[in-house]
Amino acid sequence: MSRGITYTSSPLLASPTPVWRSKFIVAAIAVAFSGLIGRAVYIQVIENEFFQKQGEVRFARTLALPASRGRILDRNGVVLASSIPVPSIWAIPEDVPRSPEALKKLARLLDMPLSVLNKKLEDEDKTFVWLKRQVDESVGKEIAALGLKGIYQRKEYKRQYPEGEAAAHVVGFTNVEDQGQEGMELAFNKELGGRNGSRRVIKDRMGRVVEDVGEQIAPVDGRDLQLSIDSKVQFFAYQTLKEAVLLHKAQAGSVVVLDVHTGEMLALANYPSFVPDKRRNLSGAQLRNRALTDTFEPGSTMKPFIIAAALEQGMVNPATPIQTAPGRMRIGNATITDSHVYGVLSVNEVIQKSSNVGTVKIAMQMSPRKMWEMYQQVGFGQKPVLPFPGAVSGRLRPYKSWRPIEQATMSYGYGLSVSLFQLAHAYTIFGRDGDLVPVTMFKMNEPAAGVPVIDVRHAKAVRHMLHMVTSPGGTAQKAQAMGYSVGGKTGTAHKVEGKGYAAKKYRGVFAGLAPIDAPRIAVAVMIDEPSNGKYFGGDTAAPVFSQTVQQTLRVLGVEPDVSVVPQVITDAVEESF
């Protein structure tokens, strides 16, 4: 047991305390309190703006209020592209539980490997990370049902393309940020995108909005675009083209359909294509808008322009005889040949039989300048006036540098290059009685004014020659369309390979008009490198023209002008190329 102690008798307690000590303690407390008051005044009054800003940096956020992207419509109001709200999944990594079972379920719903999900959650930013943008609504609901802490959703707009691969190269697509990347989506990104609004808010550490601060700016939605494209014509053209490419085991193909009266583009299709909203493993070959970006030597499809130029200059008339025997001719060290020995042909028959020799003999009577002017007037060698990104001008060298052999070969489509669109556009001069119509991608309500190129009499004369090409004895009898008269010109050209031409690689081309007496549409078709035994334009491209014409004119409500059903063609004259 401890002894009892009397504390009051302790010498330490009994000693007197100096007065200065108590004063010092009180003074120290007063100084500290004054410092706190001064600091409070500094923070709350003097440097209030700085600390207010620092607080906002940590908790205030400016939220974008996304504008709804405008729709893209066809000429009849059918939706080609539209936006729908969908959830996007994000997380606060430090708050997400690391339960293997829960994360495995989440990874499955996000359609990503568990290792990828874990890597995202281990990101340096512990307060925000996107897990997956623009998931399906059903997926968003399933993820919400998991009830995982730290996993959140945000509404965004996702682009949908109802016409799929058929209209892909016209419409294009946007990226995950809703910015146009190809086609009309890119060309008119600003108009379609509108202007985003904003909302200034205070958030807590969980990302939840606590309060609004400042003025809210409402978004301005993008405007709709109504194109000249007819979705039905586009679909039929694409399907017919696809079947032809697969049938002939070709590398690719393109088709362009223009309204001769208004200059409206009714269809532009390429194969291979892609589905705009499913672009995984997409290749450059699928993305290329070949009808506008690829150029090629057009072969015999150039011959009608040479004849038109000769008619304009009074050098020949449709009945003028041209001696083509013995089916070949020499210019310098080069020999130009026909596929058959025809003998004497009228100018009409030079086009019908696609005689290289006859065309060259006519072309060499005119000056290089006159020939160049004809090509230039119909748009060759010039960049198309279209909103599409990547449309090319092709190649047409200045006439002053032409050698005789170059003038000769350019008369039947070698030594210059064009795009399929340029070819279709140029053929409108024959459908519009001599003038070139400006092409538009937007719906027109009135016929367009054209630029005169050749006399109406000569346009009609060439149109008659084009009709002969598709009639018995011509090179494109397979271009005949059920119920409609047609006219056009075949072209078959060797493909350029290295510094020369590939011996067994070709492009088959056909360009024409229908109905032939009062044309409503111009159609151009190109089949690239057919490898299934047939490669002439009359065999590969002409049937696509035929089917496209039939479907297009029916959709447009054009009355049939031919009552006799065309017979199945078994033998056709081979073209020279």
DSSP track, 382-427: S----S-TT----B---GGG--HHHHHHHHTT-S-BB-HHHHHHHH
Q: Contact 539/529 with Cβ under 8 angstroms?
A: no
**CA–CA separation, 412 and 426 (whole Å):** 15
**CA–CA separation, 493 and 536 (whole Å):** 9
Q: Contact 91/142 with Cβ under 8 angstroms?
A: no
**CA–CA separation, 400 and 34 (whole Å):** 94
AA letter at 70? G
Residue 325, SS3 per DSSP: coil
Tell whether the torsion through CA atoms of 533, 535, 539 and 540 is positive or negative.
positive
Name 274's Cβ contacts closer than 8 Å, sequence gap at least 6: 165, 168, 282, 286, 287
Residue 214 sits at φ, ψ, to 5 deg, of: 80, 180
Which residue's entry shows tokens 């004895």? 473
Q: Which two three-digit tokens encode residue 502?
A: 């590939």
Burial class (CB in 10 A: 0-12, 13-18, 19+), 37: exposed
Residue 11, SS3 per DSSP: helix
Q: Which two three-digit tokens encode residue 296?
A: 């090629």
**CA–CA separation, 486 and 278 (whole Å):** 39
Measured CA to CA in angstroms, residue 422 lies from 104, 151, 418, 419, 438 at distances of: 55, 53, 6, 5, 11
Which residue's entry shows tokens 């939220």? 63
Residues with a known catalytic role: 300
**CA–CA separation, 359 and 372 (whole Å):** 15
